[in-house]
Structure 1
C-alpha cells in the first residue's frame, strides 16, 4: 500500500525495480524495430507472461499472482518506459483476465489461462462508427433467442482487433432502455459470422487497430459476461482503471525521452561547453520533469482511491486528457533538444511521439474527459439553482 506521504513500501519498491530491470533489459532495445512493424509482439508478450505480469492482479485461487493495483500501476509505468505498446498489452490483458476469471461459466473461464500465458489474445470492442465517445448510444443489437443471443453490428477503433481470438462486446438488447439495456458478451473471433478489418495508422502498428463486425453471431447464454442492465456499468468501471494506467504508460514513455535528452545535452558540446550548461536547454528539461512528476502523483493518488473503494472517475478523466498531452509535449521537446538526430528515424523518439499520440484518443477523447470533470464540478445542469 501507499504510505500517507505517497512513498512506496519496500515490497513495492523491490517489485518496481524487478520490473524495471526486466523491461530495460528485455524490451527496451527492441522497441524501435517493433514500433515500425505490423507483426504482433508475441515473443515479448510471452516474456511478460513468464514474469507473471499478464495475470498480475488475478487472484491466486484462479492461478494468478494476486498482486494489488499499485503493483499493476508500477508495472505499466516501467513497461511503458521500454515500450508504450506493450504497456497497453499489459493493462488491457490484466483487465481481460480478471473479467474472464470472475465468471461462473466454464465456456468463459476456459479462456483465462490461454490469455494469461500469452497463447490467446483478446480485444475490447466498445466504440462504434456512429457512437464514438457516447458508449451508451450503441447500435450493435443483441436479440434474444432460445439459449442465447444473436449479435449484429460493427465495432470500430478496436485495438488488437486484427490479432484477437476473443472480443468483449457491448450490445444493446432494448434501445428503449438506453444504458440499462446494454449487455456484455464474449464473442469468439473465429466464428464465421465475425469479420475484422485492419486500419492503417501512424502508431500502435504492432498491436493494430481495426473493426469487428458481427453478422448474426450467436452468443450462447454461457458466454454472457454481464447481463443486460449491468454490462455498461461493468465496462465503464474498467475505463476508470484503464484511463489511469494509460497515464502511467504515457509518463513512462515520456520519461524515457527526457532521460535520453538529458544524456545527449550533457555529452553534446557547442561553443566549448556542454549544451546542458545553457539555460535554454536545461530549463525545458526542468519544466517537463515537473509536469511528469505532477501527472505521476495524480495517477498514484487515483490508484489509491480505487484501491480504497472511493470515487475516482473524475481523477481518471483528468489523467486521460492531461497525461497523453503532457507526455507528447515532453517527447516533442526531447526531439528538438536532439536537433537533426531527433528528427530522424535513427532514434526511437519519433516512434514514441507517434505511439503516445494515439493515447490521446483511445478510451475517450480529451473533450469527453472534460465533460466528465465539468459535470462533477458544476453538475449536469449548470444553471443557477433556485
Structure 2
C-alpha cells in the first residue's frame, strides 16, 4: 500500500491549501465563538464545487477518491475546523446518497445539496444508543406507499438546520443488525421536532436532536436494500474515521506552525525562547507524532481506494488521532503563555473544536474494542 501521496495528490493538496487559506482562515476565530450555523461558509464550499467531490460524475460530482477527501479535510482543518466539519459531513452524506438512493431520488435532491442550497445530516445516534448502533430503537413501519418513522435521534451534527436526514431505523426489530434500514427523510414536516444543543466546540456547525412522530417516508426514499442499513453505515464509518484523522491533523499542524513562529520571535533572558530545549523539543516531538498520524490516516484512505477493508486502521485512527492532536494543541497553547490561553488567538478555538472528535463518530472505548476484536478475535474479547 502507498504511504506517500502521488504527484497528482500533491498538486491537488497545493491547490486546496491555497484555497483554504485564502478563503477560510480569516473569520475562523469569530465563527468559532458564535452559536449559529455558518451558512456562508457552507454555501461557499458549494460554489467551490467541494460538495460534489465524493459524488460520481454521472450525478454531477467529481468522483474523487478517498485520499482526495482526506486532503480537503486536512487543508480545511488547518484553516477552520468548523468548515472542515461541514465538508466532511456533506461528503459522507452525499456519497451515501449517490451510492444508495434510487436514481430519481438522487437526481431530485443532489443538485441542491451539491450547490450548497440544501443540507443533509446523518442520523444514527440515539439518546440511549451511541456506539451500539445495531440496537437502535427508532422504528420504521410499513404503510401504504411507504413507511412511518417513530423515534428520537440525538447528538446529530447540523440536525437543527438540515433540510434532509439519512435516518437509520429498525424495519425488523427481531433481526438485530440485519433489521436496520436507511431512509432519506425530508425534515420539512410537521411530524419532525428539533432541539439544538449548546457545545463548547464546533459551535459554527452545532448538533441537536430529531424526534420523529410517525413521519411518512415514500417507498422510493428507502436507501439501499431493506435490512442493509447497518452494514452500509459501518462502511461509511471506515471512511469518516479516516477522514477525521486528517481533519484533526490539520488543526494540530496549524497550532504547531503558530508555536514555531512564536518561539523564534519571543525573547526571554536576552534570547529567543526557541534556544531552550524545553521549548524546541516540544515542537520536535509533536511534529513527529502528528506526522505519524497524518501518514497513517492517508494510508487508511488509500486502502479504501485500493478496495481493501480498513476497519482496523480507521478504528485505530479514530481513538488515537484526536488525542494526539489535542496533546499537540495543548502544548502549543502553553508555549504561547498568557496570550495562548486567551481568545486573541485561535489556539483555544482549535482545542475546543478538536475535542469534539473524542466522541464524534464513536468514542475511544468502542474503537479500542474494534481493534481488540481484530487482534484477539471476537470470542476472546466478547466472551
More RCO (CA 8 Å, sep 6+): 2
Give the TM-score normalised by the residue count of structure 2. 0.97
SS at match of 1:40: coil
Deviations 1:291-348 (A, max 9, x none): 1011111101101111111111010000000000000110000100000000111111
Q: Which residue of 2 aligns with 1:15?
A: 12
User: Contact 1:57 / 1:65 at 8 angstroms: preserved in 2?
Assistant: yes
> Is 2:139 aligned against 1:141?
yes
1:70 paired residue among 67, 76, 88: 67
1:132 paired residue among 123, 130, 133: 130
Q: CA deviation at 1:95?
A: 1.9
Q: CA deviation at 1:289?
A: 0.6
Mapped to 1, the partners of 2:116 and 2:272 lie a distance apart of 46
> Is 2:315 aligned against 1:317?
yes
Give the RMSD, CA atoms, in angstroms.
Answer: 1.4
> Is 2:228 aligned against 1:230?
yes
User: Contact 2:35 / 2:198 at 8 angstroms: preserved in 1?
Assistant: no
Deviations 1:2-46 (A, max 9, x none): 8x4x33233211111111001111101211000111222222122
Mapped to 1, the partners of 2:352 and 2:54 lie a distance apart of 29
Question: What residue ranges of structure 1 are gaps of 5+ in the alignment?
Answer: none
Mapped to 2, the partners of 1:7 and 1:320 lie a distance apart of 20
Q: CA deviation at 1:105?
A: 4.4
Mapped to 2, the partners of 1:200 and 1:57 lie a distance apart of 30
1:24 paired residue among 21, 46, 57: 21
Q: 1:231-310 counterparts in 2 under 5 A?
A: 231-310=229-308
SS at match of 2:52: coil
Moved over 3 A (4+): none
Q: Which residue of 1 aligns with 2:39?
A: 42
Q: 1:77-92 counterparts in 2 under 5 A?
A: 77-92=74-89
Q: CA deviation at 1:107?
A: 3.5
SS at match of 2:169: strand
Mapped to 2, the partners of 1:187 and 1:58 lie a distance apart of 20
2:350 paired residue among 349, 352, 356: 352
Q: Which residue of 2 aligns with 1:208?
A: 206
Mapped to 2, the partners of 1:270 and 1:238 lie a distance apart of 50
Mapped to 2, the partners of 1:172 and 1:46 lie a distance apart of 33
SS at match of 2:141: strand
User: Contact 1:100 / 1:109 at 8 angstroms: preserved in 2?
Assistant: no
Mapped to 2, the partners of 1:226 and 1:8 lie a distance apart of 33
User: Contact 1:247 / 1:319 at 8 angstroms: preserved in 2?
Assistant: yes
Greater mean alpha carbon deviation, residues 140-149 or residues 371-380? 140-149
Question: What residue ranges of structure 2 are gaps of 5+ in the alignment?
Answer: none
User: Contact 1:100 / 1:111 at 8 angstroms: preserved in 2?
Assistant: no
Q: CA deviation at 1:58?
A: 1.4
Give the TM-score normalised by the residue count of structure 1. 0.96
Mapped to 1, the partners of 2:261 and 2:26 lie a distance apart of 16
